Amino acid sequence: MALADAKNRLIALVQEIYDTYVLRREIIALEEQNIKAARQNLDLQRERHELGVANSLEFRDAQQNSARARTSLITARYQARISRLEIDRLIGMIDIER
């Protein structure tokens, strides 16, 4: 009975970590879209600034948003990698127990 319980807990843990990994991969895709939008906005604000239509604060805000988008993507990739390493660790634990 204890072995079956331990096996069920391990299966649930693996499923939870896998679901987290999948979610984090989806977040990466969203962050990549966010970077594209931030770059487009930065390019637009750069052009507007050069034409004198946008002020320095608007251009700086676009620069900061672009930097934040890049940071968010790096963080999302890092979190996904951590989840993947956790899956690999659990798989290694399962193989050792056989």
**Token digits for 87?**
């899956």
Residue 60 lies in a domain: yes
74 vs 33: CA distance, rounded Å? 13
In sequence order, what DSSP letters do the residues of 58-95 get, joined into one string?
HHHHHHHHHHHHHHHHHHHHHHHHHHHHHHHHHHHHHH
Residue 55 lies in a domain: yes
Residue 11 lies in a domain: no
Vertex 74 angle, CA 73 and 79, to 5°: 95
46 vs 3: CA distance, rounded Å? 63
Residue-averaged pLDDT of the chain: 91
Question: For residue 91, what pLDDT is reported?
Answer: 80
Domain count for the chain: 1
Residue 70 lies in a domain: yes
**Which residue range forms the structural domain that includes residue 46?**
32-98
Residue 65 lies in a domain: yes
pTM: 0.81
What mean pLDDT comes out for the span 42-49? Answer: 96
